[in-house]
Structure 1
Amino acid sequence: MDQPVGTRTSRRRGTGRWEEHNSARQTKILQSAVALIEENEAGEEISIQQIAERAGLARSVVYRQFDNRDDLDSHVREFILRSYVEQVENALVLDPEKTAEEVIFEVMRTVVRWAAEHPRAYRFGQNGPVHGHAADETSVTIGRHLVAEALWEQFTAWAALLGIDVEANRPLVYGVAGLVEGIVTQFIATEGEAGRPDQETVARMLTASAWHLFAGHAADRGYHFDRSVPTGVVLADLLAQAAERQDGDAARA
Protein backbone atom coordinates (compact mmCIF):
# COMPACT_ATOMS: atom_id res chain seq x y z
CA MET A 1 0.00 0.00 0.00
CA ASP A 2 2.45 2.64 -1.17
CA GLN A 3 0.83 4.75 -3.87
CA PRO A 4 0.39 8.44 -3.04
CA VAL A 5 -3.09 9.60 -2.18
CA GLY A 6 -2.48 13.27 -2.77
CA THR A 7 -3.17 16.29 -0.61
CA ARG A 8 -6.41 16.76 1.24
CA THR A 9 -8.30 19.88 0.21
CA SER A 10 -7.59 22.84 2.45
CA ARG A 11 -11.06 24.33 2.00
CA ARG A 12 -12.87 24.31 5.32
CA ARG A 13 -16.32 22.81 5.51
CA GLY A 14 -19.04 23.38 8.05
CA THR A 15 -19.32 21.26 11.14
CA GLY A 16 -22.19 19.07 12.29
CA ARG A 17 -23.73 16.93 9.58
CA TRP A 18 -20.80 17.40 7.19
CA GLU A 19 -18.33 16.13 9.79
CA GLU A 20 -20.55 13.12 10.45
CA HIS A 21 -20.71 12.51 6.70
CA ASN A 22 -16.91 12.65 6.42
CA SER A 23 -16.53 10.37 9.45
CA ALA A 24 -18.85 7.81 7.87
CA ARG A 25 -16.87 8.01 4.64
CA GLN A 26 -13.58 7.53 6.45
CA THR A 27 -14.95 4.48 8.25
CA LYS A 28 -16.14 2.98 4.96
CA ILE A 29 -12.73 3.62 3.39
CA LEU A 30 -10.88 2.05 6.32
CA GLN A 31 -13.20 -0.97 6.38
CA SER A 32 -12.66 -1.45 2.66
CA ALA A 33 -8.88 -1.17 3.00
CA VAL A 34 -8.83 -3.78 5.78
CA ALA A 35 -11.07 -6.12 3.77
CA LEU A 36 -8.69 -5.90 0.80
CA ILE A 37 -5.66 -6.48 3.04
CA GLU A 38 -7.28 -9.64 4.37
CA GLU A 39 -8.23 -10.89 0.90
CA ASN A 40 -4.82 -10.41 -0.71
CA GLU A 41 -1.48 -12.03 -0.03
CA ALA A 42 0.81 -10.27 2.43
CA GLY A 43 2.81 -7.54 0.71
CA GLU A 44 0.60 -7.48 -2.38
CA GLU A 45 0.02 -3.96 -3.66
CA ILE A 46 -3.45 -2.56 -3.07
CA SER A 47 -4.25 0.58 -5.01
CA ILE A 48 -6.31 3.58 -3.99
CA GLN A 49 -8.59 2.80 -6.91
CA GLN A 50 -9.29 -0.67 -5.48
CA ILE A 51 -10.07 0.79 -2.07
CA ALA A 52 -12.35 3.45 -3.55
CA GLU A 53 -14.24 0.90 -5.65
CA ARG A 54 -14.63 -1.41 -2.68
CA ALA A 55 -16.02 1.49 -0.63
CA GLY A 56 -18.36 2.52 -3.43
CA LEU A 57 -16.76 5.96 -3.62
CA ALA A 58 -14.92 8.00 -6.20
CA ARG A 59 -11.13 7.95 -5.90
CA SER A 60 -11.19 11.71 -5.40
CA VAL A 61 -13.18 11.19 -2.21
CA VAL A 62 -10.36 9.09 -0.77
CA TYR A 63 -7.91 11.83 -1.76
CA ARG A 64 -9.89 14.36 0.27
CA GLN A 65 -10.07 12.25 3.40
CA PHE A 66 -6.34 11.60 3.95
CA ASP A 67 -3.18 13.68 3.53
CA ASN A 68 -1.28 11.01 1.60
CA ARG A 69 -0.80 7.24 1.37
CA ASP A 70 1.22 7.06 4.57
CA ASP A 71 -1.55 8.94 6.38
CA LEU A 72 -4.14 6.47 5.08
CA ASP A 73 -2.01 3.49 6.12
CA SER A 74 -1.50 4.93 9.61
CA HIS A 75 -5.28 5.34 9.95
CA VAL A 76 -5.76 1.75 8.79
CA ARG A 77 -3.38 0.54 11.50
CA GLU A 78 -5.25 2.58 14.09
CA PHE A 79 -8.54 1.09 12.87
CA ILE A 80 -7.16 -2.47 13.13
CA LEU A 81 -5.67 -1.79 16.56
CA ARG A 82 -8.90 -0.30 17.88
CA SER A 83 -10.91 -3.30 16.64
CA TYR A 84 -8.49 -5.68 18.34
CA VAL A 85 -8.47 -3.85 21.67
CA GLU A 86 -12.26 -3.55 21.68
CA GLN A 87 -12.52 -7.32 21.35
CA VAL A 88 -10.26 -7.78 24.37
CA GLU A 89 -12.13 -5.21 26.46
CA ASN A 90 -15.49 -6.79 25.64
CA ALA A 91 -14.19 -10.15 26.84
CA LEU A 92 -13.03 -8.73 30.19
CA VAL A 93 -16.20 -9.57 32.05
CA LEU A 94 -16.12 -11.01 35.55
CA ASP A 95 -18.79 -13.73 35.64
CA PRO A 96 -19.25 -14.79 39.29
CA GLU A 97 -20.37 -18.24 38.19
CA LYS A 98 -17.14 -18.93 36.31
CA THR A 99 -13.75 -19.72 37.75
CA ALA A 100 -10.94 -17.20 37.34
CA GLU A 101 -9.31 -19.61 34.92
CA GLU A 102 -12.49 -19.72 32.81
CA VAL A 103 -12.64 -15.92 32.76
CA ILE A 104 -9.01 -15.74 31.63
CA PHE A 105 -9.67 -18.40 29.00
CA GLU A 106 -12.51 -16.37 27.47
CA VAL A 107 -10.12 -13.44 27.03
CA MET A 108 -7.33 -15.59 25.58
CA ARG A 109 -9.68 -17.41 23.24
CA THR A 110 -11.02 -14.07 21.99
CA VAL A 111 -7.50 -12.79 21.28
CA VAL A 112 -6.37 -15.95 19.50
CA ARG A 113 -9.57 -16.25 17.49
CA TRP A 114 -9.44 -12.61 16.35
CA ALA A 115 -5.84 -12.90 15.22
CA ALA A 116 -6.48 -16.24 13.49
CA GLU A 117 -9.48 -14.82 11.63
CA HIS A 118 -7.60 -11.65 10.59
CA PRO A 119 -3.96 -12.78 10.16
CA ARG A 120 -3.05 -10.38 7.36
CA ALA A 121 -4.67 -7.40 9.08
CA TYR A 122 -2.93 -8.43 12.33
CA ARG A 123 0.47 -8.44 10.61
CA PHE A 124 -0.19 -5.23 8.67
CA GLY A 125 -1.11 -3.50 11.92
CA GLN A 126 2.26 -4.42 13.40
CA ASN A 127 4.34 -2.67 10.76
CA GLY A 128 4.54 1.08 10.54
CA PRO A 129 3.28 4.18 12.36
CA VAL A 130 -0.19 4.40 13.89
CA HIS A 131 -2.37 7.49 13.57
CA GLY A 132 -2.55 9.49 16.79
CA HIS A 133 0.66 8.05 18.22
CA ALA A 134 4.34 8.96 18.11
CA ALA A 135 6.20 8.00 14.94
CA ASP A 136 8.55 5.67 16.82
CA GLU A 137 5.68 3.71 18.40
CA THR A 138 4.52 0.55 16.66
CA SER A 139 1.10 -1.02 16.96
CA VAL A 140 2.77 -3.87 18.85
CA THR A 141 3.89 -1.61 21.70
CA ILE A 142 0.72 0.49 21.56
CA GLY A 143 -1.52 -2.58 21.60
CA ARG A 144 0.46 -4.13 24.44
CA HIS A 145 0.07 -0.93 26.46
CA LEU A 146 -3.67 -0.58 25.79
CA VAL A 147 -4.40 -4.21 26.63
CA ALA A 148 -2.25 -4.00 29.76
CA GLU A 149 -4.08 -0.86 30.89
CA ALA A 150 -7.46 -2.52 30.31
CA LEU A 151 -6.34 -5.52 32.37
CA TRP A 152 -4.93 -3.29 35.09
CA GLU A 153 -8.13 -1.26 35.31
CA GLN A 154 -10.19 -4.39 35.88
CA PHE A 155 -7.68 -5.93 38.27
CA THR A 156 -7.36 -2.82 40.45
CA ALA A 157 -11.16 -2.44 40.56
CA TRP A 158 -11.50 -5.95 41.96
CA ALA A 159 -8.55 -5.47 44.35
CA ALA A 160 -9.94 -2.15 45.65
CA LEU A 161 -13.24 -3.86 46.39
CA LEU A 162 -11.32 -6.31 48.57
CA GLY A 163 -9.10 -3.70 50.19
CA ILE A 164 -5.94 -5.21 48.69
CA ASP A 165 -3.10 -2.93 47.57
CA VAL A 166 -1.72 -4.28 44.28
CA GLU A 167 0.15 -1.23 42.95
CA ALA A 168 3.51 -3.00 43.23
CA ASN A 169 2.23 -5.70 40.87
CA ARG A 170 1.47 -3.32 38.00
CA PRO A 171 4.43 -4.49 35.85
CA LEU A 172 2.91 -7.99 35.79
CA VAL A 173 0.01 -6.98 33.54
CA TYR A 174 2.50 -5.64 31.00
CA GLY A 175 4.35 -8.93 31.23
CA VAL A 176 1.14 -10.86 30.57
CA ALA A 177 0.23 -8.58 27.64
CA GLY A 178 3.72 -9.05 26.16
CA LEU A 179 3.52 -12.82 26.63
CA VAL A 180 0.17 -12.94 24.85
CA GLU A 181 1.34 -10.74 21.97
CA GLY A 182 4.51 -12.78 21.47
CA ILE A 183 2.78 -16.16 21.43
CA VAL A 184 -0.07 -14.98 19.20
CA THR A 185 2.37 -13.39 16.75
CA GLN A 186 4.32 -16.65 16.56
CA PHE A 187 1.08 -18.61 16.13
CA ILE A 188 0.02 -16.41 13.19
CA ALA A 189 3.49 -16.64 11.60
CA THR A 190 3.33 -20.45 11.51
CA GLU A 191 0.04 -20.59 9.59
CA GLY A 192 -0.05 -23.73 7.45
CA GLU A 193 2.96 -25.39 9.08
CA ALA A 194 2.80 -29.03 10.15
CA GLY A 195 2.43 -29.58 13.87
CA ARG A 196 1.00 -26.13 14.46
CA PRO A 197 -1.33 -26.18 17.50
CA ASP A 198 -4.97 -25.24 17.03
CA GLN A 199 -6.57 -22.09 18.44
CA GLU A 200 -7.99 -23.89 21.48
CA THR A 201 -4.59 -25.30 22.45
CA VAL A 202 -2.89 -21.91 22.15
CA ALA A 203 -5.65 -20.26 24.21
CA ARG A 204 -5.29 -22.94 26.89
CA MET A 205 -1.51 -22.45 26.95
CA LEU A 206 -1.89 -18.71 27.43
CA THR A 207 -4.54 -19.24 30.10
CA ALA A 208 -2.35 -21.62 32.08
CA SER A 209 0.61 -19.23 31.83
CA ALA A 210 -1.45 -16.26 33.05
CA TRP A 211 -3.03 -18.30 35.84
CA HIS A 212 0.27 -19.62 37.18
CA LEU A 213 1.77 -16.13 37.11
CA PHE A 214 -1.22 -14.70 38.98
CA ALA A 215 -1.55 -17.56 41.47
CA GLY A 216 2.18 -17.67 42.16
CA HIS A 217 2.44 -13.99 43.04
CA ALA A 218 -0.78 -14.17 45.05
CA ALA A 219 0.63 -17.09 47.04
CA ASP A 220 3.76 -15.07 47.82
CA ARG A 221 1.43 -12.53 49.49
CA GLY A 222 -0.45 -15.18 51.44
CA TYR A 223 -3.45 -15.60 49.13
CA HIS A 224 -4.03 -19.15 47.92
CA PHE A 225 -6.61 -19.71 45.20
CA ASP A 226 -8.25 -22.89 43.98
CA ARG A 227 -8.58 -22.71 40.21
CA SER A 228 -11.76 -24.84 40.34
CA VAL A 229 -13.72 -22.43 42.58
CA PRO A 230 -16.11 -19.88 40.96
CA THR A 231 -14.99 -16.26 41.24
CA GLY A 232 -18.19 -15.34 43.11
CA VAL A 233 -17.25 -17.73 45.92
CA VAL A 234 -13.65 -16.52 45.93
CA LEU A 235 -14.70 -12.87 46.12
CA ALA A 236 -17.20 -13.58 48.90
CA ASP A 237 -14.48 -15.31 50.91
CA LEU A 238 -12.01 -12.47 50.33
CA LEU A 239 -14.63 -9.88 51.31
CA ALA A 240 -15.28 -11.78 54.54
CA GLN A 241 -11.55 -11.85 55.26
CA ALA A 242 -11.30 -8.11 54.57
CA ALA A 243 -14.19 -7.43 56.97
CA GLU A 244 -12.51 -9.53 59.66
CA ARG A 245 -9.29 -7.58 59.23
CA GLN A 246 -11.15 -4.30 59.55
CA ASP A 247 -12.92 -5.51 62.69
CA GLY A 248 -9.61 -6.62 64.15
CA ASP A 249 -7.97 -3.28 63.35
CA ALA A 250 -10.91 -1.44 64.94
CA ALA A 251 -10.73 -3.57 68.07
CA ARG A 252 -7.00 -2.88 68.49
CA ALA A 253 -7.42 0.85 67.91
Structure 2
Amino acid sequence: MTRAADTPTSGYAERWKSHNVERRAAILAAAADLVEQSPPGADVPVQRVADQAGVAKSVVYRQFKGKDDLERTLRQFVLDQFADELETDLDISHGSLRSILARTIDSAATWMSEHPRLVELLRAGPAAASPDAPDAIGELKRRIVQRSDDTIAALAVATGADRSAFEAIPFVVVNMVEATLTSWIRGESAATVRSRDEMVAALTDITWFILDGAAHTIGVTVDPDEELATVVAGLTVPQDTIQTV
Protein backbone atom coordinates (compact mmCIF):
# COMPACT_ATOMS: atom_id res chain seq x y z
CA MET A 1 0.00 0.00 0.00
CA THR A 2 1.37 3.43 -0.96
CA ARG A 3 1.72 5.89 1.89
CA ALA A 4 0.12 9.31 1.42
CA ALA A 5 3.51 10.99 1.78
CA ASP A 6 4.78 9.04 -1.23
CA THR A 7 1.93 9.80 -3.64
CA PRO A 8 2.59 11.90 -6.76
CA THR A 9 0.00 14.39 -5.52
CA SER A 10 1.80 15.01 -2.21
CA GLY A 11 5.13 15.36 -4.02
CA TYR A 12 3.61 17.94 -6.35
CA ALA A 13 2.17 19.80 -3.35
CA GLU A 14 5.57 19.95 -1.66
CA ARG A 15 7.24 21.24 -4.84
CA TRP A 16 4.52 23.86 -5.27
CA LYS A 17 4.89 24.94 -1.66
CA SER A 18 8.66 25.27 -2.08
CA HIS A 19 8.12 27.22 -5.30
CA ASN A 20 5.78 29.62 -3.50
CA VAL A 21 8.25 30.14 -0.66
CA GLU A 22 11.01 30.96 -3.16
CA ARG A 23 8.76 33.28 -5.15
CA ARG A 24 7.61 35.04 -1.99
CA ALA A 25 11.24 35.55 -0.88
CA ALA A 26 12.16 36.90 -4.32
CA ILE A 27 9.32 39.43 -4.16
CA LEU A 28 10.36 40.58 -0.69
CA ALA A 29 14.02 40.88 -1.73
CA ALA A 30 12.96 42.92 -4.77
CA ALA A 31 10.81 45.20 -2.60
CA ALA A 32 13.69 45.72 -0.15
CA ASP A 33 16.03 46.63 -3.04
CA LEU A 34 13.52 49.19 -4.33
CA VAL A 35 13.09 50.76 -0.90
CA GLU A 36 16.87 51.19 -0.67
CA GLN A 37 17.00 52.77 -4.14
CA SER A 38 14.13 55.19 -3.51
CA PRO A 39 14.22 58.68 -1.94
CA PRO A 40 13.23 58.95 1.74
CA GLY A 41 9.52 58.42 2.25
CA ALA A 42 8.87 57.60 -1.41
CA ASP A 43 6.06 55.17 -2.21
CA VAL A 44 7.06 52.00 -4.05
CA PRO A 45 4.20 50.83 -6.33
CA VAL A 46 3.34 47.15 -6.39
CA GLN A 47 3.89 47.12 -10.16
CA ARG A 48 7.51 48.18 -9.67
CA VAL A 49 7.97 45.40 -7.12
CA ALA A 50 6.54 42.89 -9.58
CA ASP A 51 8.80 44.16 -12.38
CA GLN A 52 11.86 44.02 -10.12
CA ALA A 53 11.02 40.46 -9.06
CA GLY A 54 10.33 39.39 -12.66
CA VAL A 55 6.73 38.34 -12.00
CA ALA A 56 3.29 39.60 -12.96
CA LYS A 57 1.52 42.02 -10.62
CA SER A 58 -1.21 39.41 -10.14
CA VAL A 59 1.41 37.01 -8.74
CA VAL A 60 2.29 39.54 -6.04
CA TYR A 61 -1.37 39.76 -5.07
CA ARG A 62 -1.62 35.97 -4.95
CA GLN A 63 1.27 35.90 -2.46
CA PHE A 64 0.05 38.84 -0.35
CA LYS A 65 -3.43 39.99 0.62
CA GLY A 66 -2.74 43.56 -0.46
CA LYS A 67 -0.18 46.33 -0.28
CA ASP A 68 -0.52 46.65 3.51
CA ASP A 69 0.17 42.93 3.92
CA LEU A 70 3.16 43.21 1.58
CA GLU A 71 4.58 46.13 3.60
CA ARG A 72 4.11 44.37 6.95
CA THR A 73 5.69 41.20 5.61
CA LEU A 74 8.53 43.22 4.11
CA ARG A 75 9.22 44.77 7.51
CA GLN A 76 9.27 41.28 9.01
CA PHE A 77 11.66 40.13 6.27
CA VAL A 78 14.05 43.04 6.93
CA LEU A 79 13.69 42.74 10.71
CA ASP A 80 14.59 39.04 10.61
CA GLN A 81 17.70 39.73 8.53
CA PHE A 82 18.89 42.49 10.88
CA ALA A 83 18.07 40.49 14.01
CA ASP A 84 19.87 37.40 12.69
CA GLU A 85 23.08 39.42 12.27
CA LEU A 86 22.85 40.89 15.77
CA GLU A 87 22.00 37.57 17.41
CA THR A 88 24.96 35.91 15.68
CA ASP A 89 27.29 38.57 17.09
CA LEU A 90 25.73 38.17 20.55
CA ASP A 91 27.02 34.59 20.69
CA ILE A 92 28.96 34.45 23.97
CA SER A 93 30.70 31.14 23.22
CA HIS A 94 33.75 32.94 21.85
CA GLY A 95 35.47 36.25 22.56
CA SER A 96 35.99 38.49 25.56
CA LEU A 97 33.12 40.51 26.98
CA ARG A 98 34.55 43.67 25.42
CA SER A 99 34.91 42.04 22.00
CA ILE A 100 31.37 40.62 22.13
CA LEU A 101 29.97 44.05 22.96
CA ALA A 102 32.11 45.75 20.30
CA ARG A 103 31.25 43.37 17.48
CA THR A 104 27.52 43.51 18.27
CA ILE A 105 27.44 47.31 18.45
CA ASP A 106 29.58 47.53 15.31
CA SER A 107 27.16 45.20 13.53
CA ALA A 108 24.25 47.48 14.46
CA ALA A 109 26.16 50.63 13.46
CA THR A 110 27.21 49.14 10.13
CA TRP A 111 23.77 47.83 9.22
CA MET A 112 21.99 51.04 10.22
CA SER A 113 24.44 53.30 8.38
CA GLU A 114 24.48 51.16 5.23
CA HIS A 115 20.69 50.65 5.08
CA PRO A 116 19.10 53.94 6.24
CA ARG A 117 16.03 53.48 4.03
CA LEU A 118 15.36 50.03 5.47
CA VAL A 119 15.73 51.40 9.00
CA GLU A 120 13.11 54.04 8.20
CA LEU A 121 10.91 51.30 6.75
CA LEU A 122 11.10 49.48 10.10
CA ARG A 123 10.07 52.70 11.85
CA ALA A 124 7.11 53.25 9.54
CA GLY A 125 4.84 50.54 10.95
CA PRO A 126 4.50 47.06 12.45
CA ALA A 127 5.92 43.80 11.17
CA ALA A 128 3.78 40.83 10.16
CA ALA A 129 4.50 38.86 13.35
CA SER A 130 3.59 41.78 15.62
CA PRO A 131 0.73 43.69 13.95
CA ASP A 132 -0.26 45.45 17.19
CA ALA A 133 3.25 46.84 17.87
CA PRO A 134 3.87 50.54 17.16
CA ASP A 135 6.66 49.72 14.69
CA ALA A 136 9.08 47.00 13.66
CA ILE A 137 12.06 48.72 15.33
CA GLY A 138 10.29 48.18 18.64
CA GLU A 139 9.90 44.48 17.85
CA LEU A 140 13.58 44.27 16.86
CA LYS A 141 14.65 45.82 20.17
CA ARG A 142 12.30 43.51 22.08
CA ARG A 143 13.93 40.46 20.47
CA ILE A 144 17.45 41.63 21.29
CA VAL A 145 16.46 42.48 24.85
CA GLN A 146 14.90 39.02 25.23
CA ARG A 147 18.02 37.34 23.82
CA SER A 148 20.17 39.31 26.27
CA ASP A 149 17.84 38.50 29.18
CA ASP A 150 18.06 34.81 28.36
CA THR A 151 21.87 35.00 28.24
CA ILE A 152 22.02 36.75 31.63
CA ALA A 153 19.66 34.17 33.12
CA ALA A 154 21.81 31.30 31.82
CA LEU A 155 24.99 32.90 33.18
CA ALA A 156 23.31 33.49 36.56
CA VAL A 157 22.33 29.83 36.80
CA ALA A 158 25.85 28.69 35.84
CA THR A 159 27.65 31.02 38.26
CA GLY A 160 25.12 31.25 41.06
CA ALA A 161 25.25 35.05 40.78
CA ASP A 162 22.33 37.28 41.71
CA ARG A 163 20.84 38.38 38.38
CA SER A 164 18.63 41.10 39.89
CA ALA A 165 21.37 43.71 39.47
CA PHE A 166 21.37 43.06 35.71
CA GLU A 167 17.63 42.77 35.02
CA ALA A 168 17.13 46.30 33.64
CA ILE A 169 20.43 46.48 31.78
CA PRO A 170 19.44 44.87 28.43
CA PHE A 171 16.43 47.19 28.06
CA VAL A 172 18.48 50.28 28.97
CA VAL A 173 21.48 49.39 26.82
CA VAL A 174 19.54 48.34 23.72
CA ASN A 175 17.48 51.53 23.76
CA MET A 176 20.55 53.68 24.45
CA VAL A 177 22.55 52.15 21.60
CA GLU A 178 19.68 52.39 19.12
CA ALA A 179 18.88 56.02 20.01
CA THR A 180 22.54 57.07 19.92
CA LEU A 181 23.25 55.40 16.59
CA THR A 182 20.07 56.89 15.11
CA SER A 183 21.11 60.39 16.19
CA TRP A 184 24.65 59.79 14.88
CA ILE A 185 23.44 58.60 11.47
CA ARG A 186 20.97 61.49 11.13
CA GLY A 187 23.59 64.07 12.10
CA GLU A 188 21.55 65.36 15.01
CA SER A 189 24.36 66.02 17.49
CA ALA A 190 28.01 66.98 17.84
CA ALA A 191 28.81 63.28 18.11
CA THR A 192 28.15 62.93 14.39
CA VAL A 193 31.67 64.13 13.62
CA ARG A 194 32.93 60.86 15.07
CA SER A 195 33.74 57.98 12.78
CA ARG A 196 31.87 54.71 13.06
CA ASP A 197 34.83 53.12 14.83
CA GLU A 198 34.88 55.95 17.36
CA MET A 199 31.14 55.68 18.01
CA VAL A 200 31.39 51.91 18.43
CA ALA A 201 34.30 52.28 20.85
CA ALA A 202 32.44 54.92 22.89
CA LEU A 203 29.25 52.86 23.11
CA THR A 204 31.25 49.74 23.96
CA ASP A 205 32.97 51.57 26.83
CA ILE A 206 29.69 52.97 28.16
CA THR A 207 28.01 49.56 28.03
CA TRP A 208 30.98 47.98 29.80
CA PHE A 209 30.85 50.65 32.55
CA ILE A 210 27.17 49.80 33.14
CA LEU A 211 27.86 46.06 33.32
CA ASP A 212 30.94 46.54 35.49
CA GLY A 213 28.99 48.71 37.93
CA ALA A 214 26.24 46.09 38.21
CA ALA A 215 28.83 43.33 38.74
CA HIS A 216 30.49 45.25 41.54
CA THR A 217 27.18 45.62 43.39
CA ILE A 218 27.11 41.83 43.83
CA GLY A 219 30.82 41.57 44.61
CA VAL A 220 31.98 40.24 41.23
CA THR A 221 35.01 41.56 39.34
CA VAL A 222 35.29 40.75 35.64
CA ASP A 223 38.21 41.37 33.28
CA PRO A 224 36.53 42.64 30.08
CA ASP A 225 39.45 41.50 27.94
CA GLU A 226 39.64 37.92 29.19
CA GLU A 227 37.86 35.20 27.20
CA LEU A 228 34.33 35.23 28.57
CA ALA A 229 34.15 31.44 28.70
CA THR A 230 37.20 31.48 30.97
CA VAL A 231 35.65 34.14 33.20
CA VAL A 232 32.42 32.17 33.51
CA ALA A 233 34.33 28.95 34.25
CA GLY A 234 36.12 30.71 37.09
CA LEU A 235 32.84 31.90 38.57
CA THR A 236 30.82 28.74 37.97
CA VAL A 237 29.26 27.15 41.02
CA PRO A 238 29.85 23.36 41.25
CA GLN A 239 26.63 21.55 40.43
CA ASP A 240 26.57 19.67 43.75
CA THR A 241 26.41 22.99 45.63
CA ILE A 242 23.41 24.35 43.74
CA GLN A 243 20.25 24.02 45.81
CA THR A 244 17.10 22.98 44.00
CA VAL A 245 13.66 24.15 44.97
One fold, TM greater than 0.5? yes
Q: Which moved more, 1:62-71 or 1:167-176?
A: 167-176
Deviation at 1:186, TM superposition (A): 1.5
Say whether residues 1:238 and 2:235 are aligned partners: yes
Could you tell me how far apart the structure 1 residues matched to 2:191 and 2:165 are? 42
Give me the CA root mean square deviation. Answer: 2.5
Of 106, 109, 114, 1:112 maps to 109
Say whether residues 1:31 and 2:29 are aligned partners: yes
Deviation at 1:190, TM superposition (A): 2.2
The residue aligned with 2:19 is 21
Task: Please list, as runs of the form range in 1=range in 2, the aligned pairs for 1:11-160 lying within 5 A after superposition.
Answer: 15-96=13-94, 98-160=95-157
- The secondary structure found in structure 2 opposite 1:16 is helix
Could you tell me how far apart the structure 2 residues matched to 1:83 and 1:233 are? 31
Could you tell me how far apart the structure 2 residues matched to 1:147 and 1:95 are? 17
- The secondary structure found in structure 1 opposite 2:235 is helix
Could you tell me how far apart the structure 2 residues matched to 1:194 and 1:148 are? 25
- The secondary structure found in structure 1 opposite 2:39 is coil
Gaps of 5+ in 1: 1-13
Structure 1 ranges of 4+ moved more than 6 A:
none
Could you tell me how far apart the structure 2 residues matched to 1:20 and 1:79 are? 17
Could you tell me how far apart the structure 2 residues matched to 1:117 and 1:85 are? 15
Could you tell me how far apart the structure 2 residues matched to 1:158 and 1:244 are? 14
Q: Is the 8 A contact 1:95 1:103 kept in 2?
A: no
Could you tell me how far apart the structure 1 residues matched to 2:63 and 2:79 are? 20
Gaps of 5+ in 2: 1-11
Of 153, 159, 173, 2:170 maps to 173
Say whether residues 1:221 and 2:218 are aligned partners: yes
Q: Is the 8 A contact 1:37 1:120 kept in 2?
A: yes
Deviation at 1:99, TM superposition (A): 2.3
Normalised by the length of structure 1, the TM-score is 0.82
Query: What percent identity do the matched residue pairs reach?
Result: 26
Could you tell me how far apart the structure 1 residues matched to 2:21 and 2:177 are? 33
Deviation at 1:147, TM superposition (A): 0.6
Q: Which moved more, 1:120-129 or 1:224-233?
A: 224-233
The residue aligned with 1:186 is 183
Change (3 A) 1:19 1:102: same
